[in-house]
Amino acid sequence: MFNRELKKGSIQLLILALLENRERHGYELGKLIEARSGGRLVFRLHSLYPTLCRMEEMGLLKSRWVEKPGTRRRRFYRLTAGGRRALERKRQRWTQYMQAVNQIVGLDDA
Amino acid sequence: MPDWKRHVRDNLSLDGLDPAREASIVEDLAQQLEDAYQDALDDGLAPEQAAESVKRHIPDWQAFGRTLENSQGAHQRSGLEKLEQRAMERNRRNRFSRWSGDLWLDILFSFRLLRKNQTSTILVILTLALGIGANTAIFSAIEATLLRPLPFFEPERLFLVWEHNRKTGNMQNYASPANFLDWQDRNSVFEHLAAFSYRSPILTGRGPAQRVSGVRVVGDFFAVLNTTPLQGRTLTAADAEQDPNQAVISHQFWRSTLGENPDVVGQTLILDGQPTTVVGVLPPKSGFPPGADLWVPRIYRPDSPSIRGRHLIGVGRLGDGVTRSQAQSQMDSVASRLEAEHPEFNTDFGVHLMPLRDAYSSSARGTLLLLLGAVALVLLIACANVANLLLSRMAARSRELAIRRALGANRSRLLRQLSVESWMLALLGGLLGLLLARPAIGVLAVLVPNGIRITFDLGIGPSVLAFTFAISVLAGVLFGLAPALQLWAPTAGSALAGGGRSVAPSQGGLRRFLVVSEVAMSLVLLAAAGLTIQSLSLLQRVDPGFDPNEIVTFSLTLPEAIAGEESEKAPRQNAFFQRLIERISALPGVESVGGVSFLPVAGGIASTSFRLLDRAAPAPGLSPVADVLVVAGDYFQAMKIPLKQGRLFGPEDSPDAPRAVVINETMVRRHWPDADPLGKQIVIDWDRPVTGQIVGVVGDVLHRGLASDPRPATFWAQPQFTYGFMNLFVRGGPEATLRRALPPLVSELDPDLPVQELRSMTEVMGESVGRPRQTLRLLALFAGLALVLAAVGVYGVASYWVGSRTREIAIRIAIGAEPADILRTVLGRGLVLAAWGIAIGLVAAIGLAQVLELGLYQVPQTDPLTYVIVSALLLAAALTACLFPALRARRVDPIEALRYE
């Protein structure tokens, strides 16, 4: 549906946003993106999982194994302080970028 | 339900991750795949379909694995930084490929240009090849002589230890064994200190008798050198005590004389009639002293008979971390104590430490460096010439360059093009120079000291190659500078406007500068060559004190074993020499035959202190010194050494008669300037005091070489003074016949006695000036080359001037100038340049003469006549070089030249 490069550029922002208020496990993140975008954004494990790993390496996320009663052991990801700052920055930049593009292509409200 | 964990493990390969992290990833992935599978089943897919859909999550496991691996190191750089870096790398790659592509284009273009201007290209490459080749050849000699490490372990720690005879100024006086033993005992600066003396025994029983050049070694000689033998063992200090009849041999001797016999260790050699066991063979080219083939042990005890005779050379390895000056100062204090303890023997004797390297090369250092300076000048002149030639070419190309600039080539782009051209010329010149250097190295070999030639292979090794490459590149930069500077000339861009006819006027100044430098440098070289020519011709005209023509000479060393006991030695030697001289005299055509212990002019000599019985004994150390020479047969007659006073030796000087002495004129001048020396008694310090009565005075003979001054000498008659070593001189008789007849005659008398160094006395004279003569030849060659190059340079400038002023000349002719005026103008311009060059060159040459030592014989380094002659020569060459362009200018036809205006 969307161009691969376009998706690639936004995946970190999406993950950070989804983890803003609570911790989630990897599969859940993929499902949420697909559901909330109305099926227009689909990230398979193939691209999502390495991104999670990289973000963890970069110190944006932290993960832990959680065993809840009645379910199997899952790995949950949550934002670090650095992750929160990054989310803030990326959100701002995204907005500015969108505004700039919209201004040019004529979708701006103003 | 599929085993997802297994599925992940089977497909995913992660290198370089720690196992715990890998296991965690596998579990995480398996978990998520299982969730996806569950979802698919919930969506109503059949298990197989569900499994298939899950597998689509990761279509390419290899790529996935790589991405994962990369993500693990990502914390070091942010994604943006990585992107930037990748972009930079790509950029660099592009730039390099563009750059190398351009370079290739430049090279192709240069090739085309060089081929287009074939004549000038060949001229340039040849000029450079001569300069670079000469530099390469001289450098290869220098590299071997002065730079290559000697083939010993840590050779910089090795020193020769001489006595320093302060009375004669001889810093390389042999050491007495008594002093050597004291040095060994009293020093702490040497890790090992040993000594050696030369002794070359006669080998018999293996083909014709032959002399083996060898040394006797004292102490742990091989420990000093740290030599590992090729076969067997080396000698230790203990060997001399246990069995002196053992020997270590050189690789060369093992190969040439013993046929590379693999079982040589343990074999017996008959040396001077004494069976000697071979205990070891040294590796090739590893022996010291260079050229020795045989090492035998020798021991000295305080009561040894020759303990005071100075005939040893010490050789030591400094202790780790000991400096030369520390060692010298300790040995100085040892020597001054010995001086105080044995004043009768050691007064005015010190110790001199000499780096082993100097023993090999110090004699050649000056000559080689001088020649290096000369060839460097030749190369500089060659570069100036090439620069000049390229400048002419630049003038012709100014249009091309202007067009390229107009089309957008920037200066650095053009500069690169020009540099590539220069370097290609330089490297081609260097390549050809290497080819020229190969045969030249053979010619240079005479300048390389013997020891170095024996120890190293001369030739073009990696360091010589590197040198050649470096000077080629340097030359390329030097001569490429001149055309490159033109890019910055203010008129460079305006060449288009002039339709290509105009040329950059700034070139004139640069060209004049180049030519003036060329002439100046040539003058320096010519002056050096001129001075050396004068010096050598004076040297060759020196009267050696005898007549070397029509004399055949050879040398004999009587083996020590023949001599046996001291008391039996004299009669046997006397009988041998008497019979030998009688037999030779009987040969047809022979006029006279005689012998002397040291070959005149060759440098070797024995000297000792003496006293005169009619004078008070001098204080210790103040005794005068004289040469001691032993004479057999009619030596003075054969050599035509004139008798000045008294008589020569005759049959009356028999072993039983009182010893007779003949002295030379210098001795008379020094000690009896106003008195008659005949009848005076003289006592020399030999192995014991020897007394003789002066019976005659002869003319001086230059024993230490043609450039030396005569020194006081005493001659003793062989029957009264036994001496095992003799050079014989045979005057008269056709040389070829004598050369054939002498060896069999000697072997009839003693089949075990080899005839050595059979040659004519004129050959000996030639050899004595061999090195100066070769130096001169090379200097003259380089100076000649410089002269020709400078003349070509002057020619180039003059003809360029004429070419660029054709219009002006034509107009002057048209308005009535005489051809002679034109001629005078052109010649005048050339001469002004030459005169400037000569003036600057004279200043430089005279300045250099204050600093450099040419080693001249009786010619002052600032000899005015030489400078006048070489200046005139250069001026004449410049005049000749200008003549052709001048004549061309005179013939300019004004109508023809101005027609196209």
Q: Look at residue B681 and tell me whether its pLDDT is greater than 90.
A: yes
Over residues B584-611, mean pLDDT: 87
Report whether pLDDT(B206) > 70.
yes
Contact B450, B285 (CB under 8 A): no
pLDDT of residue B621: 61
**Average pLDDT score over residue span B89-110:** 76
Q: Positive or negative, the Cα torsion across B609, B614, B618, B624?
A: negative
Return the closest-CA partner of residue B193 out of B205, B202, B181: B181
Check residue B334 and give its pLDDT.
Answer: 94
What pLDDT is stored for residue B900 in this prediction?
59
The residue ranking higher by pLDDT, B437 or B565, is B437
H helix or E strand, kind and range, residue B165: strand B158-165
Q: Which has the minimum average pLDDT: A89-103, B415-429, B443-457, B660-674?
A: B443-457
Residue B850 has pLDDT above 90, yes or no: no
Predicted local distance difference test score (pLDDT) of residue B432? 94
Contact B626, B713 (CB under 8 A): yes
Q: Could you report how far apart the first and last alpha carbons of chain B are, in Å?
A: 102
Q: Look over chain A and give the mean of its residue pLDDT values, rounded to a whole number.
A: 84
* Mean pLDDT of the B81-97 span: 68
What's the pLDDT at B78?
Answer: 52
Nearest-CA distance from B31 to chain A in Å? 7
Q: Which residues are bridge partners to B596 per DSSP?
A: B631, B727
Q: Is the pLDDT of residue A107 over 70?
A: no
Identify which has the larger pLDDT, B20 or B46. B46
- Residue B249, pLDDT score: 95
Q: From CA B588, how far away is CA B595, in angstroms rounded?
A: 19
**CB contacts < 8 Å between A and B, how many?**
62
Closest chain B residue to A45 measured between Cα atoms? B57
pLDDT of residue B504: 46
Q: What was the pLDDT predicted at B468?
A: 92
**pLDDT band at residue B841 under the 50/70/90 scheme:** very high
Residue B620 has pLDDT above 70, yes or no: no
The pLDDT assigned to B331 comes to: 95
Among B93-107, B442-456, B728-742, B784-798, name the one with the lowest average pLDDT.
Answer: B93-107
State yes or no: pLDDT of A106 exceeds 80. Answer: no
Confidence (pLDDT) at B76:
46
On the question of pLDDT at B757 being above 90, the answer is no
Residue partners of B650: CB distance under 8 A and separation at least 6: none
Share of chain B above pLDDT 90, in %: 31
pLDDT score recorded for residue B79: 55
**Residues in chain B closer than 8 A to A50 (CB atoms):** 64, 67-68, 70-71
Average pLDDT of the residues in B115-132: 86
Per-residue pLDDT of A21-63, as tens digits, reads 888 988 889 889 988 888 888 888 888 898 998 888 888 999 8
In chain B, what percentage of residues exceed pLDDT 70? 94
CA distance B626 to B629: 10
pLDDT at B501 over 60: no
Residue among A7, B21, A69, B28 at smallest CA distance from B36: B28
Average of pLDDT values for B729-752? 88
Sequential DSSP letters for B212-274? --EEEEESSHHHHHTPPPSEE----HHHHHH-S-EEEE-HHHHHHTSTT-TT-TT-EEEETTE
User: To the nearest 5 percent, what fractions of chain A are helix, strand and coil?
Assistant: 60, 15, 30
Q: Specify the amino acid at residue B202.
A: I
Name which of B225, B148, B140, B246 is nearest B468 in CA terms: B140
Bridge-partner residues for B232, per DSSP? B280
- List chain B residues with CB under 8 Å of A57: 71-75
CB of B62 less than 8 A from some CB of A: no
The mean pLDDT value for B235-243 works out to 87
DSSP 8-state assignment for residue B314: E
The CB density around residue A95, as the number of other CB atoms within 10 Å, is 10
Residue B563 has what pLDDT? 45
Residue B225: its pLDDT value, please?
92
B490 compared with B2, residue with greater pLDDT: B2
Each residue of B362-387: pLDDT tens digit? Answer: 778 888 888 898 899 999 999 998 88
Q: Of A44, A50, A74, which has the smallest distance from its Cβ to B71's Cβ? A: A50
> A72 CB near a chain B CB, below 8 Å?
yes
Mean pLDDT value across residues B710-739: 89
Segment among B158-162, B227-231, B645-649 with least mean pLDDT: B227-231
Average pLDDT over residues B556-572: 66
pLDDT in tens, B152-184: 989 999 999 999 988 778 888 889 999 999 999
Q: Take residue B475 and report the two structure tokens written for it.
A: 């030359």
The pLDDT tens digits for B217-226 are 999 999 999 8
Query: DSSP of A55-75, one letter per residue?
Result: HHHTTSEEEEEE--TTS--EE
Residue B53 has pLDDT above 90, yes or no: no
Above 70 in pLDDT, residue B688?
A: yes
Of A31, A46, A53, the CB nearest to B71: A53
pTM value is 0.68
User: What is the torsional sign of CA B540, B541, B545, B549?
Assistant: positive
Q: Residue B597 in 3-state DSSP?
A: coil
Q: Is the pLDDT of residue B499 over 50?
A: no
Looking at chain A, which residue has its C-alpha nearest residue B38? A27
- CB contact residues (below 8 A), chain B span 68-97, against chain A: 68, 70-75, 78-79
Q: Above 60 in pLDDT, residue B607?
A: yes
Which of A32-41, B295-304, B423-432 has maximum average pLDDT?
B423-432
Q: Do A44 and B57 touch (CB under 8 A)?
A: yes
Average pLDDT over residues B835-854: 87
Is B153 in contact with B191 (CB distance < 8 Å)?
Answer: no
What token pair was written down for B257?
């004389």
Min distance B400 CA to chain A CA atoms (Å): 50
Tell me: pLDDT of B708 over 90. no
